[in-house]
Structure 1
Amino acid sequence: MKAMIFAAGLGTRLKPLTDSLPKALVSVGEKPLLQHIIEKLKQSGFDEIIINIHHFGQQIIDFVEENNRFDIRIEFSDEREKLLDTGGGIKKASWFFDDNKPFLVHNVDILSNVDLSNLYTFHLKTHSPATLVCSSRETLRYLLFDSNQHLKGWINEKTGEVKSPLPDFDPSGYRKFAFSGIQIVEPSAFRYMENFPDNFSIIDFYLSICSKEKLAAFIPRDLQLIDVGKLNSLEEAQNFPIPGRFHHYT
């Protein structure tokens, strides 16, 4: 199975650590975040991985090669000339996903107990172009789903901004969930990306097609998740359960 790891971010919330190294190589429990994610992917059956790089990208390449590419196929999608955002990053890496099978996309700074194998199996049953791992945790920006757990919109609760392709969209009639930074994508989604620019958000992309495609939510029970994108959460992450010791959800 194939996967993509988002590792191109600038890591500005982790300064000053990221003044000299990429966010992907910031350590949690004596291992870089990137190693945690690669090992969890391997344990879950993903044996072909592409990593996008930008900030201190050569350090990421060197780290992977020093570890013998973790004994699996690992490629790189080079965004060092221009950071392409999440949607643009997936689009640029589309050449890698040439087997017409769904693939996992995982943020490098997300540690969780999500069972990725079960997520993949769940996705196969949805017949959806994408399945987004979500939860009910508190945040400022929520994805909005209908009663069938299909994406219909987005809201920023701080500013009141709402996005949806549906006419006269009323966010109060939908369920609010926070996106986790983990998703399964079908190669069929690439045909909708053809008219998008090089640089775009994957969430904006999903919102643009959610009126004509059923985009599913996967909501794990007893979810443990931490976004290791800022210094205070980095300290908390030192006591986080080791990735790989995850529960099997139904």
Structure 2
Amino acid sequence: MIFAAGLGTRLKPFTENHPKALAVVNGKTLLQRNIEYLKSYGIDEIVINVHHFADQIIAFLEENNYFDISIEISDETDQVLETGGGLVKAKANFTEDFLVINADILTDLNLAEFIKSHQENKALVTLAVSDRNSSRKLYFSDKNELKGWKNLNTNEEIKATDSLENLTELAFSGIHLISPTLFGHIHQHGKFSIMKVYMDLMQSQSIKGFDHSGGILIDVGRPESIIEAEEYFK
């Protein structure tokens, strides 16, 4: 699933007239780059949620013959549902482990290794993480189990252990691998964040981290990050 419903406020003025998923990096939209990235690992069934300028995304997919794969649209034009609500709305599409990526993330993460790790660990959820600057950090045990979250700006924290000290501090990359059994643990409705669900479940369920530090990861959420992305993605 590609999350493409966001308002993209950090990417103004472009997003005043377009969805951020159609921002262009070296002649290709973010959406096209992520579809091609997923296809390169054999993924040929994708769900895309839409809200902000949804008609432009649908028209783009039609113009490109849906990139010759199966693409389903999860329509959130009435209300943007955030990550948790967006997953729940689209859940009928997911009958086996599935990958989720934000449309504004460009990366060289090896998805084959990511999937292998998730399946070998029999995890409920595996989160791609890396050692990079971020105001929000996730904390993992020596077995890569999620144990906490902290906002470094406000010092707000959520933890499944007495202390976050001596844990590995990493930043979330906006890419998840999820077992569909997760939906049996979700009791929220409407608009909500899937990260809040993970925080609730980390004490009782296996939520793992997959560290891909050293690779390329660009959050193309600001105009200046497009310039950075164009250095790596030709």
Q: TM-score range by the shorter chain?
A: over 0.9
Structure-2 residue corresponding to 1:248: none
Matched, 1:56 2:88: no
1:119, distance to aligned residue in structure 2 (A): 1.1
User: Alignment partner for residue 208 of structure 1, among 200, 203, 210?
Assistant: 200
Structure-2 residue corresponding to 1:133: 128
Give the number of equivalent residue pairs: 234
1:171-193 Cα offsets, whole Å, 9 max, x none, are 22321110000110000000011
| Aligned-residue identity in percent | 44
Q: Secondary structure at the match of 1:9?
A: coil
The unaligned stretches of length 5 or more in structure 1 are 243-250
Structure-2 residue corresponding to 1:230: 222
Structure-1 residue corresponding to 2:99: 104
Structure 1 CA distance for aligned equivalents of residues 121 and 29 of structure 2: 34
- Give me the TM-score of the superposition, normalised by structure 2: 0.97
One-letter code aligned to 1:224:
I
In the TM superposition, what are the counterparts of 1:11-26 in structure 2 within 5 Å?
11-26=8-23
Aligned-residue Cα RMSD (Å) equals 1.1
Structure-1 residue corresponding to 2:33: 36
User: Alignment partner for residue 82 of structure 1, among 76, 79, 84?
Assistant: 79
One-letter code aligned to 2:75:
D
Q: Is the 8 A contact 2:129 2:213 kept in 1?
A: no
Q: Secondary structure at the match of 2:221?
A: coil
Structure 2 CA distance for aligned equivalents of residues 144 and 121 of structure 1: 22
- Give me the TM-score of the superposition, normalised by structure 1: 0.91
Structure 2 CA distance for aligned equivalents of residues 140 and 68 of structure 1: 39
Structure 1 CA distance for aligned equivalents of residues 152 and 60 of structure 2: 40
The unaligned stretches of length 5 or more in structure 2 are none
Q: Is the 8 A contact 1:45 1:117 kept in 2?
A: no
1:214, distance to aligned residue in structure 2 (A): 1.3
Structure 1 CA distance for aligned equivalents of residues 218 and 179 of structure 2: 26
User: Alignment partner for residue 181 of structure 1, among 151, 174, 191?
Assistant: 174
